[in-house]
Amino acid sequence: MNHFNKLIFGLAGFFIINMNVASAKIHTESVEYKDGTNVLEGYLAYDSSSSAKRPGVLVVHEWMGLGPFAKKRAEDLAAMGYVAFAADIYGKGVRPKDTKEAGELAGKYKGDRALLRSRVNAALHLLQKNEYVDTKKIAAIGFCFGGTTVLELARLGAPVKGVVSFHGGLSSPKPEDAKNIKGRVLALHGADDPFTKSEVADFQDEMRKANVDWEFISYGGAVHSFTNPEAGNDNSKGAAYNKKADERSWQAMKDFFKEIF
C-alpha cells in the first residue's frame, strides 16, 4: 500500500471513529432503589443512541459518598459503550460534610462487611435488570472505599466477570471468602500508599490461596487517591492526585475489560 492509500485509510478511520463518538447520546439519570427498607439513589449512564445489549459496569464511590467524581466515571464508561451504574452505598441524601464524618461513615460499613455486601449487591441487582445490559457481562470498579466494596462483592460470590479496585482497601476479616470469587480481580495500587501498605502481602496471599485469577499493579510515586484531582498534589499527606498513575490505571482497566468481555 502506497503512502497516499495509507493516508486515505487513516483519514477514513479517523472520521468513522469521530462519527461514532459524535452519534453517541449519553443518557444520565438518578435512580432510586432499595436495600431492604433503606432507600438509595444511584446514577445511571448509557448511550441511548443504541438499543443493543452491552456489558454493564457498576461504579462504587469513594468515602465522601456518591458525587461528581463517581458520576463522571460512569459517564466516561457510557461513552466507551457500557451501561454504567454508580451505586449509592450510604443511602439517599446521606453525604458526609467533611473527612471526619466520611471516615466514620466509611468505617461503619468496613466494620460490617455483611451490610457493605448487602448494599453493593442491591446496586448490582438494579444493573442486572437494565434492559440494555448483557447480564453475562458485568464488572464492577471502585475507588478507595469503593475499591474495598467491589472486592467484597467479589468475595460474596457475585456473578461478575471481574472487579477493579483503584487504590482501595485490601483487607478482609474473612480471607477464606476469596474462595467464592467467580471472576477476575485487578487491584491498582499506589506504591507509596501509607494507608494500605500493611495490607498488600495479606491480600496477595489471600488471592493465591483461593486460586483467584488476579493481577496487582503498583504505581511508583503514587499514594492514596491517585485518581482523584480533588486530592491535591502533596504526597506527604498520604493522599494525592497523580496524573500518570491515573491515566495508566484507567488504561489498565480498559485492557482488563477487553479481556473479560
φ, ψ (nearest 5 deg) of residue 44: -105, 140
pTM of the predicted protein model: 0.91
Rounded to whole angstroms, the Cα distance separating 73 from 92 reads 20
- What pLDDT score was predicted for residue 198? 95
Cα 95 to Cα 88: distance, rounded to the nearest angstrom: 10
The pLDDT of residue 104 is 97
pLDDT computed for residue 169 by the predictor: 97
Please check whether residue 27 is in contact with residue 45, taking contact to mean a CB–CB distance below 8 angstroms: yes
Question: Tell me, what DSSP letter sits at residue 239?
Answer: B
Walk me through the domains of the chain, giving residue ranges and CATH numbers. Answer: 27-260 (3.40.50.1820)
Q: What is the pLDDT of residue 24?
A: 73
CA distance 124 to 128: 6
Sheet holding 214-219, edge to edge: 26-35, 38-47, 83-86, 54-60, 133-143, 162-166, 184-190, 214-219
Question: What type of residue is 25?
Answer: K
Alpha-helical segments (H) within the chain: 3-23, 68-79, 99-110, 113-129, 145-156, 200-209, 243-260
In order along the chain (261 residues), what is the average pLDDT of each group of 10 residues?
A: 45 39 80 98 96 97 97 98 98 96 97 98 98 98 98 98 98 97 98 96 98 98 96 96 98 98 97
Q: What is the reported pLDDT for 23?
A: 57
Which one, of 164, 83, 162, lies nearest residue 128 by Cα?
83
Long-range contacts of 23-27 (CB under 8 A, 24+ apart): 23/49, 24/49, 24/79, 25/49, 26/75, 26/78, 26/79, 27/78
Chain position carrying cell 482497566: 253
Q: Residue 178 in 3-state DSSP?
A: helix
Of the candidates 256, 258, 98, the residue with the CA atom closest to the CA atom of residue 165: 256
